[in-house]
Chain A
């Protein structure tokens, strides 16, 4: 009985149960109102956020070239700061559920082609203007314009028309897409006054903090926005500050020295050292990001599936996970999906098998060496990983020739151009998004040149399917196809490794992105 009360009081403290409902439950359990009230306040003291103070983060991924225009946000600092000053239409909760923000309700037609967003009342921009359906529509228009430079353009292109009327925004899609609400959680889609069409980098949003200092590449400061519509859930610190610290050693030193309360991207090789520092907590958690070697399925010798299979079997995933990521990750299985996706299904784990690799290699008829390009920037530890791969492949009789490319220009000159190279993917929020971005024949970023009309059909069918069980089965089939016939070698999924200093309260692991999906500054507080 007391367990249940405990649980319920914590629910109230977390804002998931109303006080009134709690007292009702307590009465039903035979507890007097004064006692129930005292239970409640002790729970609130234990779990409740503390207001005040300045919360500071030292983050890698900021440059003096950063802009406040959400369309141009690319790296970690604009991403994390954007979640502080901007408000989204809809967001993914840490559990992977859709959480309505500026949209109060999202509904679709039965064929998932027409979507209606009902806009919440009383959400205010930092300039005092109320958020309207027109603002939301204009935001989506700006990001779906063919001429836009928006990082979200790839997904937004599928929208045929956007109409605002009254309190509603109606989106008509070119093709049915059951995942549309997930796409709307893309971090570029910060709602701006008139969609940011007038002045995209004005930095006016509806988020919990308004911008007071914006020095790209140096620091960004936000001050609590008094009229934030959800002030009890976010915006606990009076002020938040992002200090750009791109150097990994300087970043950890700043956390240890107490200049910042949290940092991102702790390198796997120093995690065990950092763990020993008093007051510092490592916040590592799984996500959809993965480190890969990609082969072009349409370029010799990789156009031969036996050779691709040989190369997939010749990689020692466990060794790589242990040595490159020091265990801070999970095994990959040659398809880009893991348990952080809502409709994931398990498939038998592919293992290092030199004999089988040798068999497929012989069958492919290829001899001589295979050229693999790698670089420090492909992913942290990519050069070491390539060397490990070279050794494990040698045991299967496959000669890998490693070419180390300069980091400068790697993404322009090597990735998506050369037939076999190391790379990484940050992952997406849904399987459809991931497959549409990189595995559809027409995808701009089809970096494995996986061009299969039968696969394309499966993607489109799954996208329009509203029955979850059927969809799950479809995604399973697609995963098997990519795994057994595609050009992707995926040895490991990496974890996000953040760290917080003493006194940081309210941290919740979020599998979608680092720093609680970017909300760490907005949702955490400084314990008194």
Chain B
């Protein structure tokens, strides 16, 4: 039974790598068509023709694009992301801490959001169409429909300005204790949780309800199992594939989609780093961050695929 799985996994991973390569070409091409150039952006309003020419030459902006692409790809493969044009810092070093911060925030948001979403989804199914179901769906949908910045500002207003239970800004730095760190990220993690909750909850609910129509669920009901036992034993395992899919999608979002939340809470993660460098036309950084984001997306999708295959025997043994 292991060999088809290994084969499938190998296939998916190979496909993922190919996809990543294609993405790298797209990213590189995309950054080439941004208006203006990095020298112009660094110097901003104070650019003079001489200083522009000096900076361009120093940054190697005079080489043709394809040469720069291969040079860049070679560097990435050997773990060298290059140096930021605008500040001259090593990108890999600066990204390391930032990526860690983003993952830390995403991790805690996920720890809260994923189980909560699934449990709420299960409860909604159990009491489907009743007031509990409607309340859960209503609140979750409302929190998703608000833009992230609005939720963020509401949380700040209530918990930081009015009551001062949590800090309004979430700067984290080395040497902070775990407790301090958790307190600092409480509000952004809550905002992220509210943002991704509804999607996962609704999907869980829909997937399980879908399964609930099947004959075997009816059989289970007829043999007198309690409503929760039916859902837990018979419906949930069969609905797991779409649930995993939506969970992975949201996990990816927690990493790559947090730009707004990070800016509002002044959280030193990848999102802020990317925003800063896009405005500076700092191409190497934009490329590196883009590639990392793509890698996160692709690998989480691979994991979702594989998990779905493992969970569903019918996918494991195709006819």
Contact = CB atoms under 8 A, between A and B. Distances in A.
A38 interface: no
B50 A146 contact: yes
Interface string A236-262: 000000011111011001101111100
**In terms of DSSP, what is the predominant structure of the interface of chain A?**
loop
A63 B169 contact: no
A7 interface: no
B205 interface: no
A215 B89 CA distance: 11
Contacts of B173: 213, 215, 218-219
Contact of A217 (B47, B49, B265, B272): B272
A58 B160 CA distance: 15
A243 B169 contact: yes
B224 interface: no
Interface string A473-501: 00000000000000000000000000000
Nearest to A217: B276
B168 A153 contact: no
Contact of A253 (B157, B272, B282): B157
Nearest to A148: B51
A444 B53 CA distance: 14
A295 to B, nearest CB: 18
B38 to A, nearest CB: 10
Interface in A236-293: 243-247, 249-250, 253-254, 256-260
A250 B51 contact: no
B179 interface: no
Contacts of B36: 409, 412-413
A216 B49 contact: no
A74 interface: yes
Contacts of B47: 412
Nearest to B157: A253
A330 to B, nearest CB: 23
Interface stretch (A12-20, A64-72, A461-469, A519-527): A64-72
A524 to B, nearest CB: 20
B277 interface: yes
Contacts of A146: 50
A420 interface: no
A259 B272 CA distance: 20
Contacts of B164: 257-258
Contacts of B49: 444
Contact of A65 (B45, B48, B54, B280): B280
- Report, as a range, how many residues of chain A touch the other chain: 35 or more
Interface in B113-169: 153, 156-157, 160-161, 164, 167-169
B171 interface: yes
Contacts of A151: 46
Contact of B171 (A66, A67, A218): A218
Contacts of B88: 67, 201
Interface residues of B, number: 45
A256 B168 contact: yes
Interface in B32-52: 35-36, 40-51
B219 interface: no
A246 B169 CA distance: 11
A154 B43 CA distance: 13
A445 B51 CA distance: 13
Contact of A244 (B43, B86, B156, B266): B266
A85 interface: no
A444 B48 CA distance: 6
Interface in A174-191: none
A147 B50 CA distance: 8
A41 B36 CA distance: 61
Interface string A139-170: 00000001111010110000000000000000
B277 A257 contact: no
A250 B48 contact: no
A66 B87 contact: yes
B263 interface: yes
A254 B268 contact: no
B84 interface: yes
Contact of A149 (B35, B55, B268): B55
Contacts of A408: 35, 279
B240 interface: no
A216 B273 CA distance: 10
Contacts, number: 118
A253 B155 CA distance: 11
B263 A246 contact: yes
Contacts of A65: 42, 84, 86-87, 276-277, 280, 282
B169 A153 contact: no
Given A149-B55, A247-B263, A254 B273 contact: no
B35 A413 contact: yes
Given A64-B94, A217-B268, A408-B35, A256 B153 contact: no
A418 to B, nearest CB: 14
B246 interface: no
Nearest to B48: A444
B167 A243 contact: no
B55 A74 contact: no
Nearest to A447: B45
B167 A257 contact: yes
B249 interface: no
Nearest to B164: A257
B311 interface: no
Contacts of A201: 88
A412 B44 CA distance: 7
A146 B50 CA distance: 8
B264 interface: yes
B160 A253 contact: yes
Contacts of A258: 164
Nearest to A425: B45
B156 A250 contact: yes
A63 B280 contact: yes
Nearest to B35: A409
B276 A63 contact: yes
B87 A257 contact: no
A146 B171 CA distance: 40
Nearest to A200: B88
Contact of A64 (B45, B87, B167): B87
A20 B40 CA distance: 57
Interface string A60-103: 00011111000010100000000000000000000000000000
A249 B264 contact: yes
A30 to B, nearest CB: 54
B277 A64 contact: yes
A250 B264 contact: yes
A259 B84 contact: no
A260 B161 CA distance: 12
Given A65-B277, A250-B265, A219 B43 contact: no
Given A146-B50, A149-B43, A153-B48, 8 more contacts: A64-B272, A246-B266, A250-B263, A257-B168, A408-B35, A412-B40, A412-B47, A444-B48
19 contacts: A65-B42, A65-B276, A74-B46, A148-B51, A217-B276, A243-B171, A245-B169, A246-B263, A246-B266, A247-B263, A247-B266, A253-B168, A254-B167, A256-B161, A259-B169, A412-B35, A413-B35, A415-B45, A444-B49
Interface of B: 35-36, 40-51, 54-55, 84, 86-89, 94, 153, 156-157, 160-161, 164, 167-169, 171, 173, 263-266, 268, 272-273, 276-277, 279-280, 282
Closest 8 pairs between A and B when the two form their complex, measured CB to CB: A65-B86, A253-B168, A257-B168, A218-B268, A63-B276, A444-B48, A257-B160, A412-B36
